[in-house]
Amino acid sequence: MPDDRLTTRHSRSTGPGSPDVIGIHDADTGSIQYVVSCPETSEAALIDVVHDYDPEAARLRTDTAERVLEIVAERGLDVKWVLDTHPHADHVMASAFLKDRTGAPNAIGEKVAEIAELWRGYYNLPGAFDVARDFDHLFAHGDQFRLGQMGVRVMLSPGHTLGSITYVVGRDAAFVHDTFMQPDVGTSRADFPGGTAAQLYDSLMAILELPDETRLFVGHDYGTDTRNAPAWESTVAEQRRDNAHIGGGITKADYVALREERDATLPLPDRMLAALQLNLRAGRKPPPEGDRHAYLKIPLDKF
């Protein structure tokens, strides 16, 4: 069923070894989630799918994830992986929900264990977040797996978080999450716990070493003063030439200064303190208490 909050576009395979990519933009969070598939076999992976969260009522819904599953069914796709690039700060991940619905294994980067340790301290929850239990696979840099007739390679891309990963799918698609944004916007913030602008610069440079024609699919878009319609696809060549922060070449020191100055003006995402507590459980709720309801623990005066 159509959802006015969601904008969907199809980036078609460019030939053998090139994936089909459907991007679904969620207006509530500015997040883009992806259905990537092998045209020859119809095997698919779901990347960074949103589990809707109403921060005012602290209520979870599955409307967006259900729409993603409708797209999968409409196209006759066979979901083999439920993937996330990092524990998101601005939306709750639908990883556990999609694993339960599809039977496909869920995965994220192995450094999520270090992120979990960091946030156990912020929440004062020393026994929380068993990531090895809640995720079937924890990918390391350089890991590879198959999606139909295409290879998928994992790149560690820290900076936004210390454990963010990029999925390079087939010969011309990379899912680069919160590293690049669209060229007219620039790059993502790097001021969350464990993130650094210096590491983000190195990750950006590593992505730009991919072939020029590689399609880059970003994690967020909020539009600009001159562009209202959401956008999420560019190429390595376009980002290298036109990116508002690093296009045309910039030194690491100048980029770090630019990024840190910008980040100092940004508020925390309104879902962050709820989302991390759920996402470090793959989107599952905390265990219910005596009244059979689950509760979130929000730290005061720490941020």
State residue 249's pLDDT score. Answer: 87
pLDDT of residue 3: 72
- The model's pLDDT over 114-149, given as tens digits with 9 standing for 90+, comes to 999 999 999 999 999 999 999 999 999 999 999 999
pLDDT classification of 70: cutoffs 50, 70, 90: very high
Q: What percent of the chain has pLDDT over 90?
A: 96
pLDDT at 2 over 70: no
Please tell me the predicted confidence (pLDDT) of residue 248. Answer: 86
Closest CA to 53 of 6, 84, 94: 94
Q: What is the residue whose two structure tokens read 């809707």?
A: 52
* Average pLDDT for the chain: 96
Chain segment 175-224, per-residue pLDDT in tens: 999 999 999 999 999 999 999 999 999 999 999 999 999 999 999 999 99
Q: How confident is the model at residue 62 (pLDDT cuts 50, 70, 90)?
A: very high
Percent of the chain's residues with pLDDT above 70: 99
> pLDDT at position 126, please?
95
Instruction: Provide mean pLDDT across the span 15-38.
Output: 97
Mean pLDDT of the 64-84 span: 98
d(CA 44, CA 35): 7
Reported confidence tier of residue 18, pLDDT bands at 50, 70, 90: very high
For the chain, list the domains and their CATH numbers.
6-269 (3.60.15.10)
Q: How many CB atoms lie within 10 A of CB 282?
A: 27
Report the pLDDT value the prediction gives residue 5, as an integer from 0 to 100.
87
pLDDT tens readout for residues 215-267: 999 999 999 999 999 999 999 999 999 999 999 889 999 999 999 999 999 99
How far apart are alpha carbons 235 and 213 in whole angstroms? Answer: 6
What pLDDT score was predicted for residue 56? 93
Tell me the residue ranges of DSSP E strands in 13-69. Answer: 20-26, 31-37, 43-47, 50-54, 59-61
When pLDDT is averaged across residues 5-12 and rounded to a whole number, the result is 96
Closest residue by Cα to residue 166 from 155, 151, 150: 155
**pLDDT at residue number 114:** 97
Residue scoring higher pLDDT (258 or 3): 258
Judge whether 180 and 137 are in contact, CB under 8 Å. Answer: no
